């Protein structure tokens, strides 16, 4: 399958066969991490990492991935340039993207909740870069989607539960937390779980609905695969019979006001809820489920330590898989 030159902004925009190809290659690369087949695929090429928001896993995994493919990852922050915004003059995306594309073989962009004036602004900006750059643009997480995380999630779940996840039960449950997280990781988890035929349950308190378009896509994916989809406001019912439990805090649709992200207000709202923590007792209600999380984990509020560090936790495997998935994505789109 020829994926050279493709942008990756949301997994739903790639065919299931393309996602399968990424996972197939990622698993081969993981099994033979420093094999000679891979170490010169991107020799002398540069991948530009444009970070509006910092990250431990994203920066480390992309830099390591590019190094192991024989290339170089270059780190750039918003403060390194003079970029135009709604409130200040500067270089336009049209100009910046076309210049960056002359230097680099690919561009990665990370822009999350507190760097945008409204939900969807980060997605709009990445698509503007993709419009003007004639090299692949890869989302390294933005306010709507996190495709690399979604693929790393799926790779980890398959490693634990087997290649065929059709008919397995996936629980995405909102959790208490003090980090006011965006929707990107959880929305990608919904999309990949439903694309791979899992029965999907979303458990969240009233007022914590996710993007209606993502919910529509997820429901449609489930229908296509003969799987079930439901949304509930019960903090315990979804655990019954689950095979994968994904417990994560996320913000409300009212997180933005007057062009600003109300982080403190979202934290206060979330911490007012009790009874939305994943505990060992709740995991005991499942069908020997694995616990998954994209990290960083807000231990004690999102999930109990004994679950996050327990024998059925796949969080470190999923974190490791970011490296291998991103190697595969860059090899397929840049090489």
Q: Do 140 and 268 reside in the same domain of the chain?
A: no
Task: Provide the pLDDT for residue 81.
Answer: 72
Q: Are residues 177 and 306 in the same domain?
A: yes
Residues 122 and 178 in one domain: no
Cut 0.95: pTM above it: yes
Task: Name 10's Cβ contacts closer than 8 Å, sequence gap at least 6.
Answer: 139, 144, 145, 147, 188, 191
pLDDT value, residue 295: 97
Residue 177 to residue 271: CA distance in whole angstroms: 6
* 223: containing domain: 150-318
Kindly report the CATH number assigned to the domain that includes residue 289: 3.40.50.1370
Q: 292 near 153, Cβ under 8 Å?
A: yes
Q: What's 7-19 look like in SS3?
A: CECCHHHCCHHHH
Same domain, 41 and 128: yes
4 occurs within a structural domain: no
pLDDT at 84: 66
> Tens-digit pLDDT profile for the chain (335 aa)?
899 999 999 999 999 999 999 999 999 999 999 999 999 999 999 999 999 998 999 999 999 999 999 999 999 998 777 776 666 778 999 999 999 999 999 999 999 999 999 999 999 999 999 999 999 999 999 999 999 999 999 999 999 999 999 999 999 999 999 899 999 999 999 999 999 999 999 999 999 999 999 999 999 999 999 999 999 999 999 999 999 999 999 999 999 999 999 999 999 999 999 999 999 999 999 999 999 999 999 999 999 999 999 999 999 999 999 999 999 999 999 99
Query: What does the angle CA 178 – CA 317 – CA 221 come to, to the nearest 5 degrees?
Result: 80
Q: How many domains does the chain have?
A: 2
**Residue 229 CB-half CA count within 13 A:** 19
Residues 81 and 25 in one domain: yes
């Amino acid at each position: 399958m020829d994926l050279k030159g493709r942008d990756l902004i949301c997994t739903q925009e790639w065919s299931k066969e393309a996602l399968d190809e990424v996972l197939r290659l990622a698993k081969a690369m993981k099994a033979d991490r420093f094999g000679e087949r891979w170490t010169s695929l991107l020799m002398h090429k540069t991948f530009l990492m444009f970070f509006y928001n910092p990250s431990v896993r994203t920066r480390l995994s992309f830099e390591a991935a590019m190094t192991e493919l024989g290339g170089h990852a270059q780190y750039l922050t918003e403060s390194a340039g003079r970029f135009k915004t709604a409130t200040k003059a500067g270089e336009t995306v049209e100009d910046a993207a076309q210049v960056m594309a002359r230097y680099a073989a690919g561009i990665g962009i990370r822009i999350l909740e507190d760097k945008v004036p409204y939900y969807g602004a980060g997605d709009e900006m990445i698509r503007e870069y993709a419009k003007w750059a004639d090299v692949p643009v890869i989302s390294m997480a933005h306010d709507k989607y996190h495709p690399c995380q979604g693929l790393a999630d799926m790779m980890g779940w398959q490693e634990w539960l087997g290649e065929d996840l059709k008919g397995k039960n996936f629980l995405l449950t909102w959790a208490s937390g003090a980090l006011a997280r965006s929707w990107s990781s959880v929305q990608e988890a919904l999309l990949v779980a439903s694309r791979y035929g899992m029965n999907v349950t979303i458990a969240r308190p009233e007022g914590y609905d996710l993007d209606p378009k993502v919910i529509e896509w997820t429901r449609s994916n489930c229908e296509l695969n003969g799987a079930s989809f439901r949304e509930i406001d019960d903090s315990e019912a979804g655990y019954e019979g689950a095979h994968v439990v994904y417990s994560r805090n996320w913000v409300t649709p009212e997180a933005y006001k007057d062009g600003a992200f109300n982080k403190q207000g979202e934290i206060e709202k979330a911490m007012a809820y009790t009874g939305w923590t994943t505990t060992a007792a709740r995991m005991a209600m499942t069908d020997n489920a694995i616990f998954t999380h994209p990290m960083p984990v807000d231990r004690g509020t999102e999930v109990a330590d004994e679950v996050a560090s327990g024998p059925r936790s796949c969080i470190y495997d999923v974190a490791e898989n970011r490296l291998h998935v991103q190697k595969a994505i860059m090899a397929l789109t840049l090489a």
